[in-house]
Amino acid sequence: MNELLMPAGSIEKMKYAFAYGADAVYLGLTDFSLRALRKGELIDETNLPDAIKIANDLNKKAYCTLNIFAYDDDIKKLYETIDIIKQAKPHALIISDFGILRVIQKNIDNIDIHISTQTNTLNSEAVKFYRDLGAKRVILARELSFKQIENIRKQVPDIELEMFIHGAQCMGYSGRCLLSDYMTEGKRKANQGNCAQACRWSYKIVEETRPNQYFELIEDEKGSHIMSTKDLCLAKYIKDLINIGIDSFKVEGRTKSLYYVSAVAKTYRNIIDNKINFDEAIYELKKVGNRGYCEGFFLGDNNSSSYSYDISKGLAGADFLGIIQKQKDDDTFEVLIKNKILLNDEVEIISPRYCEKAKIEKIYHEKKGLIDVANTNDIVDLTIKSDNNNWKEESSWALIRTIGLKE
């Protein structure tokens, strides 16, 4: 089986990831994860069992990340959380720190261990080392080329291998970066799950004796985002990775939107299942937030073209307009608005299996009555007309976005 592994920054995102084709998700307890999320229905000690149950009920898997670099205070918290993890029974624990690994192996049985990409696993001997420690899976470092990955698979056939195939990249080595720590005076520690993404900032220099004069850093006349990497996209090479025996394809993005998780999961599900070609896939992937795409180290020639000099934030080729909450009658749906929708707008409806054009023919607000504009965070009733109505079979998971690909 070639597992599609998606991020689950919240229970809601987890449900959409599964609906749109994920076989498994990875989620993190807030104290032990490298993504310290601050909003949404966060996954913590109180609802971790619920999250795992949802996955089990769908015959899917949920992996719990415990991949911070831990101090003794973190180890103390881990001991206090052990019973909760035991009772929740995630399908695997993703670990990078040897102290955490030791605590888990001493106190928890019958939960698989996955070795995090944070361990910078770059060679077959390291994979054998973790296998011999009892790990079921190793998540390879992003800094490997296809040939190196293929060789590791040949050298160590008796352990699962997972690799990142899509999403934001870090200018640190496999995520090991201290830039955020220094630039925030220790308040935002990257390896404690609270990265400030200082590599995405725009920098200027100041001369010591001229404190009020700032000079912009220029790189090839493109701007000053000299450390901001483009996003990884290996959609073109999924079949090659299947052929060499990679077990799990991982997408980055626990802080990304519900729309991002859904659309990316759908695209890679269709690639794995041979339902779309590369051109169709990349067209869809451009519709979600990205900083431009590259292959990173995968082709063995990572260079300056892997950096996004002119932008630091991901820009989407389509605007995410709304989440359909429920169907009220044949053509009317309750919708949570994510970006402004106008009366008579032509839109695109996506669902796990379908993508269809439609038109907004009526907007009704409970307090305002019939209106011409629905604004962000409004909950309104939309009358939606489409030539094909296949998406209505999956309306409980349907999302609304703009048509086509904008510049």
Give the C-alpha separation, 62 to 307, whole Å: 32
Distance, C-alpha 177 to centroid of its chain = 19
Give the C-alpha separation, 86 to 109, whole Å: 8
Instruction: Indicate if the alpha-carbon torsion angle 37, 38, 41, 45 is positive or negative.
Output: positive
Residue 100: name the closest of 128, 126, 66 by CA: 66
Integer angstrom CA distances of residue 221 from 24, 68, 224, 266: 43, 38, 9, 37
- Does 320-402 match 3-174+229-306 at the fold level? no
Task: List the single range of 4-13, 37-46, 295-304, 353-362 with lowest mean pLDDT.
Answer: 37-46
Beta bridge partners of 112: 92
Q: 197-250, pLDDT tens digit by residue? A: 777 777 777 777 777 777 666 555 555 556 677 889 999 999 999 999 999 999
Average pLDDT, the chain: 89
H-helix or E-strand spanning residue 282: helix 278-285
Give the pLDDT band of residue 174 (cuts 50, 70, 90): low
Q: Give the domain ranges of the chain.
A: 3-174+229-306, 179-216, 320-402
Give me the percent of the chain exceeding a pLDDT of 90: 70
3-state secondary structure of 266: helix
Give the pLDDT band of residue 40 (cuts 50, 70, 90): low
Give the C-alpha separation, 199 to 207, whole Å: 21
Q: 183-194, pLDDT tens digit by residue? A: 786 778 766 667
Residue for token pair 């000299």: 226
* Token digits of residue 273: 């299942």
Give the C-alpha separation, 38 to 172, whole Å: 23
Specify the fold of 320-402. Answer: Elongation Factor Tu (Ef-tu); domain 3 (2.40.30)
Q: 77-123, pLDDT tens digit by residue? A: 999 999 999 999 999 999 999 999 999 999 999 999 999 999 999 99
Judge whether residue 137 has pLDDT over 80.
yes
Judge whether residue 33 has pLDDT over 80.
no
At residue 313, the pLDDT reads: 67
Give the C-alpha separation, 232 to 251, whole Å: 9
The residue with greater pLDDT, 129 or 190, is 129
Residue for token pair 């985002």: 225
Are the beta carbons of 364 and 371 closer than 8 angstroms? yes
Integer angstrom CA distances of residue 204 from 226, 233, 309, 311: 11, 30, 14, 15
> In the CATH hierarchy, which top-level class contains the domain 3-174+229-306?
alpha beta
Give the C-alpha separation, 316 to 319, whole Å: 7
Q: Which residues does 4 contact at the CB level (< 8 Å), separation at least 6?
A: 21, 22, 23, 24, 248, 249, 251, 265, 268, 269, 272
Judge whether residue 323 has pLDDT over 80.
yes
